[in-house]
Chain A
Amino acid sequence: MTVSGLSVEFDNHTVLDDISFAVRRDSTMAIIGPNGAGKSVLFRSLLNLIPYKGTVSWSEDTRIGYVPQKLAVDKELPLTVYEFLSFKEKSRTKILEVMGAVGFLKEANHIHNDTRVLKTRMGNLSGGELQRVLIAYALLGKPNVLLFDEPTAGVDIAGEETVYGLIHKLKADKDLTIIFISHELEVVNKYADSVLCLNKEKVCFGPPKTAIDKESLEKMYGEETHIYHHHDH
């Protein structure tokens, strides 16, 4: 996937300015930047959800799975998790398969990890459950590219595992390109092959170890920057 000269404007206000980068097949890329840096806007351009200038070109056989940051699902919406997933996939076996991948198992010891969640209304899920269901939804249809908009590290998938652990595990499948937005540098260092630092324009791009230095951090977050440490539970 290559992006060149990407710019986005809302009402003559430049949100993204002349962004260019490339993502290799089967690699993991992280996008970092402060609030309002245009991370989600960049995502939305990659998905072709908003108008932009410049070019975004995916390889021809790309199948994108998208995990949005959050969904405001109406509590009163009479839509169960199973019905939601079946918008994309008819086969019950395949639905159970992806639910298993995000940690909802048959006859689990805890209700939060049980496939009974399939009968629950979307609006009644907890934040963590909803995120896992959205990941399951993205996994349906065998995507070879996954776009994660800020997966929260605090969400347990199954016991110890976090969303990032899951991302890592999914990578074991061959041919899966992952692009995720994150706040946490530690997570980026651990899981990403390359990182794009963003603050309306491209601040840095490359392998995390070399790309994220004092200078690029200052450009993103200002002078007095302390590296944010993610605490494992």
Chain B
Amino acid sequence: MTTNLLLLLAVGALSGAVSGYLGSFMVLRRMSLVGDALSHVALPGIAIALAIGVNPMLGALLALALAAVGIWYLSDHSEIYPEALVGIFFTASLAAGILITPEVELLEALFGDIDKIGPIDGIFTLIGAVAIFAVTMTISKKLLLMVVSKDLAKSQKIKTSKIDLIYLLLVCGVVALGVKFLGTLLTGAMVIIPAVTAKNIAGNIKAYQILSVVLGTLATAAGILIASYFKFPSGPTIVLTAISFFIFSFVFKKR
């Protein structure tokens, strides 16, 4: 039990840290809800993975990657606003996902279940988190410059469309990592809340990014401990822990 809890804490902290880091860009780019909506796309992926007996994380990742490429392509090649596109993808996949997910698995897929996390998931999370951190760091400056001005970035010959695609794929990776803990309905929260909390406190980008990572890690770890102690479902507990940090930071800021 103790080793299992340690594994859960390690896996959770890693996925919380990387969600926080990637989320820090998401919030600045005003794309918070993109992460949230994308997470719902994971549902049909999970359902199909469950049906054919492979790891649900893989199914989620595949479905997410498809959706990300679709959103990226359409937003580049059509006049529909990205937020509208995300809305369409999200509702369509939620509807399809609920239809094809076996009823016994539905609750787990929607809200996450830490009891189902094993060593394989730990390895997936470790590899995934390290890869996402590394790639995000290499495009970090470009992403931030694009937040300040896309024209300025383009004038420096930065391929903004390519960076956008890489970024969306990274978001998919993060969502896939979080899906087992938080479920498809709540994964988006861990991308948004730690970053918004950090933004309330931080005075510069460096502090903001570090705080996003720290808060993501803390909220997930604390949430897992609370959930396992009180036998609560993990997803809602983690999200509410993060929200309590946010409220605290808000009061701190208004002081």
A contact set with B: CB distance below 8 Å: 44, 47-49, 64, 66, 68, 71, 73, 76-80, 83-84, 87-88, 119, 121-122, 137
Specify which chain A residues have a CB less than 8 angstroms from the CB of B199 in the assembled complex. Answer: 76, 78
Tell me which of A68, A73, A76, A137 contacts B151 (CB under 8 A).
A68
Specify which chain A residues have a CB less than 8 angstroms from the CB of B149 in the assembled complex. Answer: 68, 71
Q: Is the CB of B154 within 8 A of A79?
A: no
Closest chain B residue to A64, Cβ basis = B155
Q: A95 to chain B: closest CB distance in Å?
A: 14
B231 beta carbon closer than 8 Å to chain A: no
Tell me which of A48, A66, A77, A80 contacts B152 (CB under 8 A).
A66
Q: CA separation between A48 and B155, bound complex, in Å?
A: 7
Q: A141 to chain B: closest CB distance in Å?
A: 8
Q: CA separation between A79 and B155, bound complex, in Å?
A: 20
Specify which chain B residues have a CB less than 8 angstroms from the CB of A47 in the assembled complex. Answer: 151, 154-155
26 A-B Cβ contacts within 8 A? A44-B151, A48-B154, A49-B151, A49-B154, A66-B155, A68-B149, A71-B148, A71-B149, A71-B152, A73-B148, A76-B199, A77-B28, A77-B148, A78-B202, A78-B203, A78-B208, A79-B147, A83-B204, A83-B205, A83-B206, A87-B144, A87-B145, A88-B156, A119-B204, A121-B204, A137-B152
Q: Is the CB of A68 within 8 A of B152?
A: yes
Specify which chain A residues have a CB less than 8 angstroms from the CB of B147 in the assembled complex. Answer: 77, 79
Q: Is the CB of B204 within 8 A of A78?
A: yes
Q: Is the CB of B155 within 8 A of A87?
A: no
B31 beta carbon closer than 8 Å to chain A: no
Q: Is the CB of A87 within 8 A of B203?
A: no
B66 beta carbon closer than 8 Å to chain A: no
Q: A136 to chain B: closest CB distance in Å?
A: 13
Q: Is the CB of A79 within 8 A of B204?
A: yes
Specify which chain A residues have a CB less than 8 angstroms from the CB of B206 in the assembled complex. Answer: 83
Prevailing SS type, chain A contact patch: loop
Interface residues on B, range: 20 to 34
User: In the complex, which of the residues A80, A83, A87 has the most CB atoms of chain B within 10 Å of its own CB atom?
Assistant: A87
Closest chain A residue to B145, Cβ basis = A87
Closest chain B residue to A71, Cβ basis = B149
Tell me which of B28, B141, B205 contacts A80 (CB under 8 A).
B205
B207 beta carbon closer than 8 Å to chain A: yes
Q: CA separation between A71 and B199, bound complex, in Å?
A: 21
Q: CA separation between A64 and B148, bound complex, in Å?
A: 18
Q: B126 to chain A: closest CB distance in Å?
A: 30
Closest chain A residue to B141, Cβ basis = A87
Instruction: Kindly identify, within residues 209 to 241 of chain B, every residue whose CB is under 8 Å from any CB belonging to chain A.
Output: none
Q: Is the CB of B205 within 8 A of A78?
A: yes
User: In the complex, which of the residues B141, B148, B206 has the most CB atoms of chain A within 10 Å of its own CB atom?
Assistant: B148
Q: Is the CB of A79 within 8 A of B148?
A: yes
Q: CA separation between A73 and B205, bound complex, in Å?
A: 14
Specify which chain A residues have a CB less than 8 angstroms from the CB of B205 in the assembled complex. Answer: 78-80, 83
Q: CA separation between A78 and B152, bound complex, in Å?
A: 19
User: In the complex, which of the residues A48, A49, A71, A73 has the most CB atoms of chain B within 10 Å of its own CB atom?
Assistant: A49
Specify which chain A residues have a CB less than 8 angstroms from the CB of B152 in the assembled complex. Answer: 66, 68, 71, 137
Closest chain B residue to A76, Cβ basis = B199
Specify which chain A residues have a CB less than 8 angstroms from the CB of B141 in the assembled complex. Answer: 87
Closest chain A residue to B154, Cβ basis = A49
Q: CA separation between A84 and B156, bound complex, in Å?
A: 14
Q: CA separation between A119 and B203, bound complex, in Å?
A: 9
Specify which chain A residues have a CB less than 8 angstroms from the CB of B28 in the assembled complex. Answer: 77
Q: B78 to chain A: closest CB distance in Å?
A: 14
Specify which chain A residues have a CB less than 8 angstroms from the CB of B144 in the assembled complex. Answer: 79, 87
Q: B49 to chain A: closest CB distance in Å?
A: 39
Q: Is the CB of B204 within 8 A of A80?
A: yes
The 8 closest A-B pairs by CB, nearest first: A66-B155, A78-B208, A80-B204, A78-B202, A47-B155, A83-B205, A87-B141, A87-B145
